[in-house]
Chain A
């Protein structure tokens, strides 16, 4: 079945680094752009980053720009998020998410597949 499974979360000290992974299965991963979305404890959802199908373009929320880096390996059906210079406010569950369609239109601009999330805690 169509599935996304995140891993790599954990406890890290402020200023530290962590690399998250998202393993995709059940669909042609290379056909979809992919996103990372996070949710701080007790808070709402926040888009973090996205990457196009061929990795030709990436974009980041202002809150993580210059510190986080998104990448993908289509041969391994995997999405990554390299997080550097971590701060307490980066503490959150991180989800990878797939859009509904391979070509996103105004009518299909939504995420129908989400992973279960991986928890990142930044604390000394």
Chain B
């Protein structure tokens, strides 16, 4: 399969922990990267590789992977974390693929 599947929407109470998942066969052999996108803005990289954060990304963001599932965890979600989150990897032809996105609501 060359698809990445994400839950369309997830919610979390302020200050609690939330996990956003991404499923796909390609994740067995490729890492997922994760992007945060707020309305009207370009995506921002938040996690790449095994579990790496670009400079400026808070350490409450972390990544993990097991089998065909990659996860983005936000520990202690803040109001400013409300956004769409996209996972990204490669298919069997090494072409880039994106998940459908997860809309995170912080309650």
The reply to whether B101 and A110 form a contact with Cβ atoms under 8 Å apart is no
Say yes or no: is A116 at the interface (Cβ < 8 Å to chain B): yes
Tally inter-chain residue pairs, CB-CB below 8 A. Answer: 61
Q: How far is the CB of A67 from chain B (nearest CB, A)?
A: 17
Complexed CA–CA distance, A59 and B49 (Å) = 23
Q: How far is the CB of A20 from chain B (nearest CB, A)?
A: 15
How many residues of chain A have a CB within 8 Å of chain B?
22
Inside 8 A of B90's CB, which chain A residues have their CB? 109
Instruction: Mark each residue of chain A from 22 to 38: 1 if its CB lies under 8 Å from any CB of chain B, else 0.
Output: 00000000000001010
- Contact partner of B30 among A59, A100, A106, CB < 8 A? A106
Instruction: Mark each residue of chain B from 41 to 83: 1 if its CB lies under 8 Å from any CB of chain A, else 0.
Output: 0111100111010100000000000000000000000000000
Given contacts A44-B86, A45-B86, contact A110 B45 (CB under 8 A): yes
- Contact partner of B49 among A95, A107, A111, A114, CB < 8 A? A107
Given contacts A100-B48, A109-B48, A114-B42, contact A46 B31 (CB under 8 A): no
The reply to whether A44 and B99 form a contact with Cβ atoms under 8 Å apart is yes
Complexed CA–CA distance, A50 and B95 (Å) = 9
The reply to whether A35 and B42 form a contact with Cβ atoms under 8 Å apart is no
Inside 8 A of A47's CB, which chain B residues have their CB? 95-98
Given contacts A44-B101, A45-B86, contact A106 B96 (CB under 8 A): no
Chain A residues 99 to 113 lying within 8 A of chain B, measured CB to CB, are: 100, 106-112
The chain B residues found within 8 Å of chain A, CB to CB, are: 30-31, 33, 35, 42-45, 48-50, 52, 54, 86, 88, 90, 95-101
The 3 nearest A-B residue pairs measured at CB: A110-B33, A110-B48, A47-B96
